[in-house]
Amino acid sequence: MDLSTALTDAVAAYRRRPADLLPFYVLGTAIPVITRAVTAAGFVAAYAYLEMTGRIERVRTALAEGDLGSMPDPEADPAAFQRWTDSLGTVLDPVADPVVLGVVAVTLVATIVLSVVLSAGVSAGQYAACLARLRDDRGTLAGIGGVRAYWPSVLGAYLLEVAIWVAATLGAAIAVAVASIIHPVLGVLAALAALLGWTVIVLCTRAVLAFAPVAIVVDDVGVLGGVDAGLGYIRANPADALGYYAVAIAALFVVASAGGALALVEAPSLVGLASLLVVAPGLDLVKTGLFGRWRGTVDPAAPPDVPLRESVRAGVGRGWSEMTGFVRATLPTHALVVAVAVASFALGWVAAGPFEDVVTASIAARLEGHLPPAAAAEFFANNWTVALGTAFAGVVLAVPTLVALWFNGFVFGIAFRLETDLLELVAFVIPHGLLEIPALFIAGAVGLQLGRSGWRTWRGTDSRVTLADDLERAFRVLVGVGILLLLAGLIEGFVSPYYFRFVRPFVPPSVADALA
């Protein structure tokens, strides 16, 4: 199978039923949301300890009795800012307790381990979904089975690669250290040789193990079997393998270049969203197609029978109708989401009270250098990515979604309490918030529904088919959410920062005083 055929098959498999493939790539964005639940548990445990030991009360008393004043501008007066941070450090000294530091360390280790395991599981599901779509089978259902069957082997392949990298790094460091002891010039030469050797080892390892996870899924083998099969593919098809590497490097170069360019205008999230929904699944489909056709387990893909424009129009329309139908069918779930958000906002507002005159925030300052087109793109891409991750994280018994809702509401409560001009902040939020906030609530409700589906599947009450149906439905609902967030992003970029300067003179003094 040549590379051009693999590219054609990848496009055809992607276009035919994207909602049957992309949910497993969206699950990748849910991993940080899931691990954040572990971080939140550690935070709650540390806070409970500090509260029970009276350390939080000592901090409150120090803040009330101290004279910190407001935070100085670090650029205008660095010395004053340093004195202020030193004083704040003294006030917060009771928080630096060995037990708290231990809880933080355990939480960090648990978060890293969980993130690695989840990444392996999601990757296994992605490759299984790609293989199924190239066979014109149901991708989401195959992905669920792939997670259960292949995550240990995919994790082993990843750990093997990391181990080789670590061994190469340690070997190079030791060689350079020994050579430097013998003679400085020899140390320099050894460093150059070690750098070259390390680079060769890392690139060769990446080249071979790039096909190992695919081989694990396609051939249904373990770690060593996957590595051996991946190496066998490269030996048998060096030109196609090199072609895939070239395509992957070119894609990464384009993504990095676009990301760098958009970062200059503070809009990098658009590239991340494109990578999530297009680049990552595209590369995986190509790689799986190359290996699968070599093994004889993938047949040529039938071309899409609907033009791209009509496919996009139909997908957007179905996403909107799925979203509106979902809202009508799950009003109690939405009420719960709103209750969690409001309660966490209130808690954040109360928690920020002691810091109200110490740390300040300003919406006007955050909008300095605002570039409407770039800002609109960034607001849309960032908010939709957050919505996707928040919703799909709910598949883990809904807990991560609830934590995300609580965390976001809590942070917003703090931000509103510390705002120097609350009237301006409220006025800024209202135009786009009328669409953005309900959209994020819908994403939260999707997460809770997926949690229910995940729980029932785990208990054996529902089948994997039902879970696959719910994952696909969730993705289509989130397409509708994306439409809302696109409109909200345009309003936030082009309207929200500007209209209030013309409206403010007409605001009744009573309203302005109430929000002062």
The CA distance from 225 to 212, in Å, is 8
What pLDDT digit, counting tens, does each position of 202-211 carry?
999 999 899 9
Q: Please answer whether residues 127 and 288 qualify as being in contact, where contact means their C-beta atoms are separated by less than 8 angstroms.
A: yes
Q: Which of 268, 269, 255 is nearest to 383 (CA)?
A: 269
- 361 phi, psi to nearest 5 deg: -130, 155
Q: How far apart are the first and last CA of the chain?
A: 69
pLDDT at residue 73 tops 70? no
Q: Which of 114, 148, 133 is nearest to 23 (CA)?
A: 133
Confidence of residue 512 (pLDDT cuts 50, 70, 90): low
pLDDT surpassing 80 at residue 71: no
Q: Please report which confidence band the pLDDT of residue 146 belongs to, taking 50, 70 and 90 as the band edges.
A: very high
Please give the average per-residue pLDDT across 437-455, as a whole number: 97
Q: Which has more confidence, 75 or 156?
A: 156
- CB-based contacts of 14, cutoff 8 Å, min separation 6: 21, 133, 281, 282, 285
Answer for the pair 312, 15: CB distance below 8 angstroms, yes or no: no
Residue 318 has pLDDT above 70, yes or no: yes
Q: Phi/psi at 419 (nearest 5 deg)?
A: -65, 135
**Mean pLDDT across 231-249:** 94
Question: 3-state class of 484 per DSSP?
Answer: helix
Torsion angles phi and psi, residue 69, rounded to 5? 75, -175
pLDDT reported for residue 514? 61
In this prediction, residue 511 carries a pLDDT of: 61
What pLDDT was estimated at residue 510?
65
Give 426 or 302, the one with higher predicted confidence. Answer: 426
**Tokens representing 479?**
């397409």
Residue 55 has pLDDT above 90, yes or no: no
Per-residue pLDDT of 94-112, as tens digits, reads: 777 888 889 989 999 999 9
Nearest CA among 360, 479, 499, 491 for reference residue 432: 491
What is the per-residue pLDDT for 430? 93
The answer to which of 48-52, 118-122, 433-437 has the lowest mean pLDDT is 48-52
Nearest residue to 21 via CA among 168, 125, 150, 112: 125
Amino acid at 331: L
pLDDT of residue 69: 62
Taking each helix axis from N to C end, the angle separating 308-329 and 464-494, rounded to the nearest 10 degrees, works out to 100
Rounded-to-integer distance, Cα 429 and Cα 351, Å: 22
Summarize pLDDT for 16-35 with one digit per residue, the tens.
Answer: 889 999 999 999 999 999 99
CA distance 367 to 427: 14
Mean pLDDT value across residues 489-504? 87
Residue range 269-295: mean pLDDT, rounded: 95
Q: What is the DSSP secondary structure assignment for residue 361, as one 8-state letter?
A: B
Helix 139-182 and helix 212-219, axial crossing angle in degrees, nearest 10: 140
Contact 385, 29 (CB under 8 A): yes
Structure tokens at 8: 């054609």
Query: What dihedral do alpha carbons 128, 134, 136, 140 form, nearest 10°?
Result: 30
| Averaged pLDDT score across all residues of the chain | 90
CA distance 404 to 409: 8
Cα dihedral 492, 507, 344, 327, rounded to 10, equals: -60
- pLDDT number for residue 152: 97
Domain boundaries, given as residue ranges, for the chain: 3-41+100-295, 306-515
Per-residue pLDDT, 165: 94
Which whole-number Å values give the CA distances from 288 to 151, 249, 432, in the listed order? 17, 17, 42
Number of H helices, E strands in the chain: 21, 0
Going by the DSSP 8-state scheme, the letter that residue 419 receives in this structure is B
pLDDT surpasses 80 at 78: no
Phi, psi of 438 (to 5 degrees): -60, -35
pTM flag (> 0.85) = yes
pLDDT value, residue 516? 59
